[in-house]
Amino acid sequence: MTNAQQAFAQLARQPDDGIDLAAAALAVSGLFQQDLAANETLAALDRLAAEAGTRLLPQADVFDKVRALNQFLFEEIGFAGNQDDFYDPRNSFLDQVLSRRLGIPITLSVLYIEIARRLGLPAYGVGFPGHFLVRIGRGDTALMLDVYAGGVALPEAELDQRLADLYGRGTLSIQSHPALLRPATKREILVRMLRNLTGIYRDRGERVNRLAALTASLTLAPNLPDELRERGLLYRDLDYTPAALGDLRRFVEVSDDAEQIAAVTRIIDELGGQPMRLH
């Protein structure tokens, strides 16, 4: 196990409220970048937050502070969503987002949350379907922001429209499913970052990096069915039969997808494992 993997495993053993999100996001970056200077990046984040703080008036309300922070980050500094090369893995590395001023919704959200936190603003990540968002505050007065689009505030009607675009009109709404806007845990944020990287490395055919991303996800949350199945099949393709059997057997135990369980059970039998009983 590399030093980066050991550091990540140590982080994963912490309770969720004990995880430093910025440091954890950089721990993800360190799994794929040997020359990562995490402490320097954290110091740069602190400096950026301190500079942002000079733009926020202490007596201003939350809405004015958000407007000032948006103006600083997206207009003055120039952070933006990378629309030209969305699937560049550097968009998923917080250090690269800081240096290149480019990112995807989740890493720009992590950046925004960590700067807001340093300024005393109550910011949380929201794993909204299809597009990660930032939530300022709790309760009915919470403000939903799309930081990939420059921190624009999203009213409920716009959120419902986004759900309709994904699932069809009338299928889901914020009013009927308010949990769609609940703050994500830090583990959920990190797993979502790693799932993005898993997909990127899968599409690129980079099996070593894909394996690292899957393993990191399962280090954070050991019973993720999709990750167990994918890593098990990847181990099979890499001829790591005992590891493949371990993941695939665990998948059968935790999954509730009968069709996939049946398919995986056949693979376990083909690999010489003990016959599995469907449940």
Predicted confidence at residue 144, as pLDDT, reads: 96
Q: Terminal CA-to-CA distance of the chain, rounded, Å?
A: 35
Predicted confidence at residue 273, as pLDDT, reads: 62
pLDDT-flagged residues of the chain (< 50)? 276-279
In angstroms, the CA 254 to CA 264 distance is 12
In order of 100, 153, 219, 234, the CA distances from 238 in angstroms are 35, 46, 20, 6
State the amino acid at position 101 in one-letter form. R
Predicted confidence at residue 200, as pLDDT, reads: 98
Residue with tokens 């493949």: 244
How many CB atoms lie under 10 A from the CB of residue 120?
A: 11
151: left (phi over 0), alpha (psi -120 to 50) or beta: left
Predicted confidence at residue 198, as pLDDT, reads: 98
In angstroms, the CA 123 to CA 134 distance is 7
Contact yes or no for 247/263 (Cβ under 8 A)? no
In order of 92, 103, 134, 166, 207, the CA distances from 87 in angstroms are 9, 10, 21, 20, 16
Predicted confidence at residue 2, as pLDDT, reads: 84
What's the DSSP call for residue 149?
G
Contact yes or no for 231/264 (Cβ under 8 A)? no
**What DSSP string describes 81-99?**
E--SSTT-GGGG-HHHHHH
